[in-house]
Amino acid sequence: MKLKGYIQRYINLTEQEYIVFLSYLDTKSFKPGEKLLDFKERCQKRFFIKKGCVRMYGYTEKGKEQIYHFAIENWWISNYESLLNNTPSYLIIEAIEPTEVYYLTSEKFELLCQQLPKIERMFRMIMERAYIAFQKRLEFLFNLSSEEQYRHFIKVNAKFTQRIPQYMLASYLGVTPEFISKIRSKI
């Protein structure tokens, strides 16, 4: 799905409005392992994944890597805590595979919303859906066993299972790679 089709899922833009929207976006490519947002950097951008796959992660108090989120084509990703509060990010956003993004800086986002107010509605709707997904993740975390969480993840997110390494999926689910191997051997 192209960006225009993605936007049309939320709001209707005329061709002229779409051209205006595009004029506020910049593009950038990232190699695997390259960071879109680094540790303690102030997040100033919202990223739309044109192509590729990224992860958002941080570290526990014991220094263990913990993945919080993945994003693939046609997903927005940002550290909203850092972005909205203008604070250093304690999460890192990193490309897992060659990745191309559109990005929208905070400054351009404000200007864009002034010029096209319906864009603010679109982002509100995106954030509402993200919040629902977050609630579902918490629900699964508290109500499903690790094995049930894994089975649910691969059922709902089949696109990810072929694209992310097993150790990253384990980090996201809070289990060991060996645990995932054991479950996979049963399937």
For each of the chain's 187 residues, which pLDDT tens digit applies? 589 999 999 999 999 999 999 999 999 999 999 999 999 999 999 999 999 999 999 998 999 999 999 999 999 999 999 999 999 999 999 999 999 999 999 999 999 999 999 999 999 999 999 999 889 888 888 888 888 888 888 888 887 788 899 899 999 988 988 988 888 887 6
Same structural domain, 150 and 119: no
- Residue 25 is encoded by which pair of tokens? 């976006």
Q: Which pLDDT does position 140 carry in this prediction?
A: 85
Please report the pLDDT score of residue 150 as a whole number. 87
Q: Which two tokens stand for residue 97?
A: 């595979």
Domain range for 177 = 144-187
Phi/psi region, residue 95 (left: phi>0; alpha: psi -120 to 50; beta: rest), is: beta
Residue with tokens 């947002």: 37
Judged by DSSP in three states, 11 sits in: coil
**DSSP label at 122?**
H
**pLDDT score for 160:** 78
Amino acid at 131: Y
110 and 164 housed in the same domain:
no
pLDDT value of residue 70: 94
Q: What is the pLDDT of residue 74?
A: 93
Under 8 Å between Cβ of 98 and 163: no
- Do 24 and 112 meet the contact criterion of CB atoms below 8 Å apart? yes
Number of domain units in the chain = 2
CA-to-CA distance for 167 and 173, rounded, in angstroms?
A: 10
What angle is formed at CA 117 by the lines to CA 114 and CA 120, rounded to 5 degrees?
105
| pLDDT the model gives residue 31 | 98
Question: Residue 59: beta bridge partners?
Answer: 65
Same domain? 61 vs 34: yes
Of 79, 97, 127, the residue that ends a domain is 127
